[in-house]
Structure 1
Amino acid sequence: MAIKKINIIIALTVGLILGCEHKDCGCVFPPSPLAGDWVLARITYGLTQKTVTAAEAGYSETVSFGGFSDTGGNFRQVRNGLPLKTSTYSISFPNGGSTQGLISFQADTTEQTFRLADNKIYLSERSPRGVTIADGSTYEYQR
């Protein structure tokens, strides 16, 4: 009798599991932590560690990250009101977390590290994939 009850319970459990509707992914990807428009505030030059404002550098610049999904997003860089670069991008977090990572740009196969802090983004100088520029500049952008 006990074996019959166990068989019935197993059959019902299997039936419930197999009877559940399995939807296609329908995944909703969280927005990129970089999403939005960022305005250049300061540049810190790598070799000298001198920091200048965008005005002192002699130009204005905005970078925009948008349209993020599982395959990446859209990047746009505008300097002095003129489009400079556009590309699709993807991000990764080699050290875990969600505030420091690596942006890979598909259009020119470059990458740059980023760090988010206090509603600012700090971008390293872009370089070819796999290359680290030891004395590269750091660009600070604000929303």
Structure 2
Amino acid sequence: MKKILVATHARFAEGIVSSIDLILGKQENLHFINAYVDETPFNEKLEGFLNENVMDEDKLIIFTDIFGGSVNQTTLRYLTKENVFVISGVNLPVLLEVIMLGEDNVTEAKLKEIVNSSKDQIIFANDEMKKLNITQDDDFDL
């Protein structure tokens, strides 16, 4: 079974999962861990989640906020397992696409493709508005 975990510093993980819930409804395979918001060390929260929620046959996709950050470094320890994938720099478009990905399509190649295509969703809107010749006074619907 496909399992998705969003783990970030503070409450970003909870917030982005809340956005997913609003857009798609509650997703049973989507979980989050807010790191450093209480006295429980993140590595203990992660280990507890893995022990309670992830079976050997599951495919686990972990999203983190900052590559090289403490949350990300802790999750990278689990890459020795064949069924674990870590994606850092989580954003709503990439998370939505992975959630909607069929279980049979959870492969390293497909996840790389999704990550690469999600980079196109990061847009400097000022330039896009200029390209489209749209001003603040225009009533527009992109």
Instruction: Give the TM-score of the pair, scaled to structure 1.
Output: 0.29
Q: Which has the higher helix share?
A: 2
Higher relative contact order (CA 8 A, sep 6+): 2
What TM-score does the superposition give when structure 2 sets the normalisation length?
A: 0.29
